[in-house]
Amino acid sequence: MSDQPGMPSAPAGASVTDGPPPGGAEPVVARTREELHAARRGLTDGDVAVVMTMGALHEGHATLIETARQRAAHVVVTIFLNPLQFGPREDLSRYPRTFDSDMEICRRAGVDLVFAPTPDVIYRDGDPGVRISAGPLGNVLEGQARPGHFDGMLTVVAKLFHLTRADSAYFGQKDAQQLLLIRRMVRDIDFPVKVVSVPTVREPDGLAMSSRNTYLTDSDRETALCLSRALRAGAAAAAEGPSAIRRAARTVLVREPLALIDYLVLVHPYTLEDVPEWYRGEALLAVAGRVGTTRLIDNLPISVGPNGGALEVFSDVDSAGA
């Protein structure tokens, strides 16, 4: 059954045929497929970028949006708390819901269109019988800790690619395994979209920005800083090779007994396999652990070998589906 276009949820004076709004203008808000299709038809004079979020936007999201705004004629932001990404014991019920402040960030960044559907809009028949499988890359690291998480993530990303018909999509380097899997899906299933990576945005103290940071108490936050300190220590040892990187990072973590570390790995950025001692080139140093009741992840792209050190993103981040 084809969708019939309807009218978007726009404020008085706004039109789905308006051009890109300047910073501070009101984005069009679409909550149904019909409203999205009607609004999307008006974005015809140039390429369209999408930034996909689960809400609870922060300055890391704002950086994604602003980067997309600089490179694309139009920016669509999706705000959808995807239930398929949460396991039965995870934090879906307490995940922060901050739509008014999310809209303020979108407004400030000059977003054209916000798609904010409910689960019954995305999953019209309830729990979907067909999902995207993340395959072997989705069963390691975060996938091992959160079974089924990446299948749920890829399923909704694929649906949102189709619904928004974006030319490019912007994702943060902080979610490195997610980014890798989206790139692989785009390449393997031939989505006509360019995936662009944006460097991790950090708080002044080094903590990677995350919507879950709001769960941290003051003492938890101090403990959580060991994650970014470990990554920096590993990067500082990059010229000495993989063993030195792992050793330097691990030394920082063992000094913080209140952080329960799930994993610390140095892996190839495209296979997620541990790099051997002789390896020289780009690698991903990634860490995950629990601080108080909150599970946090962080990572740092690293160049291993002479003159090695931390990178912002990997070298081919702007290649479609790489």
Catalytic residues: 61
264-274 burial by CB neighbour count: b if 16+ within 10 A, else e? Answer: bbbbebeebee
Which 3 state secondary structure label does DSSP give 310? strand
Phi, psi of 157 (to 5 degrees): -65, -40
Q: Can you tell me the distance from the alpha carbon of 232 to that of 218, in angstroms, rounded to the nearest whole number?
A: 22
Q: Can you tell me the distance from the alpha carbon of 202 to that of 185, in angstroms, rounded to the nearest whole number?
A: 28
In this structure, are residues 198 and 64 in contact, taking their beta carbons and an 8 Å threshold? yes
Token readout for 116 is 């904010």
Residue located via tokens 């070298």: 315
How many helices and strands (H and E) does the chain possess?
9, 10
In the chain the first and final C-alpha atoms are separated, in Å, by 34
Q: Can you tell me the distance from the alpha carbon of 310 to that of 226, in angstroms, rounded to the nearest whole number?
A: 17
Pairing mode of beta strands 281-291, 294-304: antiparallel
Token readout for 311 is 């990178």
Q: How far is CA 97 from the centre of its chain?
A: 17
Token readout for 140 is 């390691």
